[in-house]
Amino acid sequence: MQPDKADRSSLPPSSNELRVDTEALKDNWRMLDRMSGDAGAGAAVKADCYGLGVSICVPTLVEAGCRNFFVANWDEAEELSHYVAPEQIAVLQGPVTPQEADFAKASGILPVINSIHQAKLWTKAGGGTCHLMIDTGINRLGIAPSDISDPAIAALDIDVAMSHLASADEDGPMNARQLALYRECLGSVRHKRESLANSAGIALGMDYAFDLTRPGLALYGGIARPELEGRIKQVAYIKACVLQTRSLKAGDAVGYNGEFVASEPMRVGTISIGYADGFLRARGPGEAFMFEGKRLPLLGKVSMDMVVVDLAHAPEVKEGDWLDVPFDLLNAARQSSVSQYELLTVLGRRLRHWS
Ligand SMILES: *Cc1c(COP(=O)(O)O)cnc(C)c1O
């Protein structure tokens, strides 16, 4: 049997925690909205707001002024519809099956049409306002420029005609190429609004902003391009509890496969966070947790539920104390070679304690 809410409220506080700084999230949205100039910023809230939780992030974004929300699929759209009006939700995958087209029509949630097949499904389901994705070079989702004059597309009632940048985080020729092709395509299809830029695209400047921008990563504290450094604030903060402290002798080995071996006597702490919480094994090497500003290096492999740290710089640490888990996304991505997107979206449900 599932314990009900009343039972859960009698549980002791948990031993690790993700805190979402809602003021920083609001500030990031406002900053990206400002950087979008005359265009308004929307928000990509797919993957449960990149791992930080729809129930806390979406009401916060609404409070900041956000009115356009992008999710990947219909499950996510349904969850989002508890927080915002259906016409504010765009489903990036679009209707792949007749059932999805019928669901969109019945719910009022707007599909992004990605192909002639999807356009026909939508029209058959009754049609009405939708969005259109034009593939200008990412070769993933979206209608090919050569198909844009197809009668099935011409029959659509399109609000936002959008495209998606493949390499906006880089300075290659690709961005300008996609921008030019996007502009060309816009002339061939009836639509109300235009949208091209993700987080990194916003940093490319006003040419890329059009009517509506679609930041995701930067809302949640990711630094998609150097221009965003100093403007975007950290949103996710993680803490974990010291479960046990112990003394090692020279020659004692720590964790699975004994990867760290003490060369002299030392005091260590076992901390309640592991890769099942999204603190990946790749985060181990060279990383350190913090206690009141003191660095506590990780020792050995990250386990599923625990890591071990060196307490040399904080001998006062005792069982039940809390340590800060470093989660500055730019630094964490550099340290681990895992992308900022992945570091966020793998954060475990075990870290969330507000719902
Ligand atoms: C995920 C996504 C975004 C947001 O991208 P970020 O790089 O996270 O800002 C915008 N548009 C589309 C189509 C997406 O799939």
State the average pLDDT over residues 210-232: 98
pLDDT band at 244 (very low <50, low <70, confident <90, very high): very high
314 lies in the same domain as 190: no
What positions carry a catalytic annotation?
A: 46, 256
d(CA 271, CA 120): 55
Q: What is the pLDDT of residue 9?
A: 77
Pick the last residue of a domain from 161, 188, 220.
220
Distance between alpha carbon 59 and the CA centroid of its chain, in Å?
16
In tens, the pLDDT along 116-175 reads 999 999 999 999 999 999 999 999 999 999 999 999 999 999 999 999 999 999 999 999
What percent of the chain is modeled with pLDDT above 70?
97
Question: Measuring CA to CA, how many Å separate 86 from each of 96, 128, 133, 141?
Answer: 19, 13, 19, 22
* Ligand 1 atom index nearest CA of 141: 13
In tens, the pLDDT along 35-89 reads 999 999 999 999 999 999 999 999 999 999 999 999 999 999 999 999 999 999 9
pLDDT band at 13 (very low <50, low <70, confident <90, very high): confident
When the pLDDT of each residue in the chain is averaged and rounded to a whole number, the result is 96
For strands 212-213 and 307-310, give the pairing.
Answer: unpaired
In a domain, 4, yes or no: no
Bridge partners for 248 per DSSP: 266
CB of 92 closer than 6 angstroms to any ligand 1 atom: yes
Q: How many domains, in total, are found in the chain?
A: 2
For 77, the domain range is 20-220
Q: What is the pLDDT of residue 24?
A: 98
- Measured by CA distance, the residue closest to atom 15 of ligand 1 is 92
Which CATH number covers residue 24? 3.20.20.10
In a domain, 230, yes or no: no
DSSP class per residue in 125-152: TT--EEEEEB-SSS-SSSB-GGGTT-HH
Distance between alpha carbon 310 and the CA centroid of its chain, in Å?
31
In a domain, 14, yes or no: no
d(CA 31, CA 215): 11
In a domain, 347, yes or no: yes
* Ligand 1 atom index nearest CA of 218: 9
